[in-house]
Amino acid sequence: MKKVLFLLVASILLIVGCSEDTSGDGETVLGLAMPSATHGWMGALIQNAEDQAKALVEDGTIDDYIFTTADNPSAQVNNVEDLIAQGVDAIVMLPIESDALSPIALQVEEAGIPLVIVDRELTNDAATVVVKGDNYGAGVNAGEYFMEQLGGNGKVVEIAGPSNSVTQQRSDGFREAIEGSDIEIVASQSGEFSTETSLQVMENILTSQPEIDAVYTQDDGMALGVLQAINEANRTDIQFITGVAGSKDVYEIIMDDGLITATFLYSPLMVKEGVIIGADLANGEDPDSAEVVVPATPVTKDNVDDHYDPEAAF
């Protein structure tokens, strides 16, 4: 009788143990904290991030992922707090604002969770790995392009992004490249990485600035808004516009000899590398490097055919 009772208890314990294993205990789970899709580039990046996470689940690299988006910094902080509470094995985050998301990044670090930051950097060293485009290089390459096209002399406008590390680096690089020349920045305003906002901002600048030779925009979507404003104002003094990203729409304008004549690569595909690295960290692997930088290759009429994909989502 004692032997039967022992076997019965052992069987029950075995069943309980099995049920605990299949309920998710011991699974490798990746957390993703992304902004909302406020413009085309971000929409493509968000889609790329989730596509890559799904692929990693399908191939067995990770067991599951938790995907979150937020339309403001406070909401993103809440999302990251939830990911910490759920005990994910690593987090991939694109901070909406560098300053606002840096404190929660420290909490991720304190919780012992590896953190991959994509695109916009933090103001501290909480990230395990940073995956970014060469924002400073994009600004430098743009400035060098302006120097070449304008012969080192002219009045230019800068349409910048919102307040974050990306915007600052793209502005710094541009200014360094034109330093010491006779190129004058007659207006610099934020277009918030929005086509609609950039259209409105450029309309006001066109009213206040009777002479403009060229416009440096820090994003392809903003370049499209600037182009619309210029066309609607019938301004013929502006020689060219440049963007940053590498969108299909801008490539087509470059190919058709339009007013947007150059852009500098900053592909939303970079997030896939960030998600792959995040999965590796979640599985306990050490990173190959603390920083991955994607080059800001100039794309002009000379090489646009090498980059254009008519089937691209962005």
pLDDT in tens, 134-170: 999 999 999 999 999 999 999 999 999 988 888 999 9
Let me know: does 223 contact 241? Beta carbons within 8 Å. yes
pLDDT for the residue numbered 313: 75
User: What is the pTM for the complete model shown?
Assistant: 0.77
Let me know: does 94 contact 35? Beta carbons within 8 Å. yes
pLDDT for the residue numbered 40: 81
Indicate whether 86 and 125 sit together in one domain: yes
Q: What is the mean pLDDT of residues 45-58?
A: 96
Indicate whether 180 and 192 sit together in one domain: yes
CATH number of the domain bearing residue 94: 3.40.50.2300
Parent domain of 165? 135-265+301-307
pLDDT in tens, 72-118: 999 999 999 999 999 999 999 999 999 999 999 999 999 999 999 99
Indicate whether 144 and 239 sit together in one domain: yes
Q: Could you give the CA distance from residue 227 to residue 298 in angstroms, rounded to a whole number? A: 19
Residue 309 three-state SS: coil
Q: Could you give the CA distance from residue 177 to residue 175 in angstroms, rounded to a whole number? A: 5
pLDDT in tens, 8-43: 334 433 333 333 333 345 899 999 999 998 778 899
Indicate whether 48 and 145 sit together in one domain: no
Residue 156 three-state SS: strand
Indicate whether 144 and 259 sit together in one domain: yes
Indicate whether 126 and 171 sit together in one domain: no
User: Considering the domain boundaries, does residue 182 fall inside one?
Assistant: yes
pLDDT for the residue numbered 11: 40
Q: What is the mean pLDDT of residues 221-230?
A: 98
pLDDT beyond 60 at 44: yes
Q: Per DSSP, what are the bridge partners of residue 185?
A: 156
pLDDT for the residue numbered 38: 74
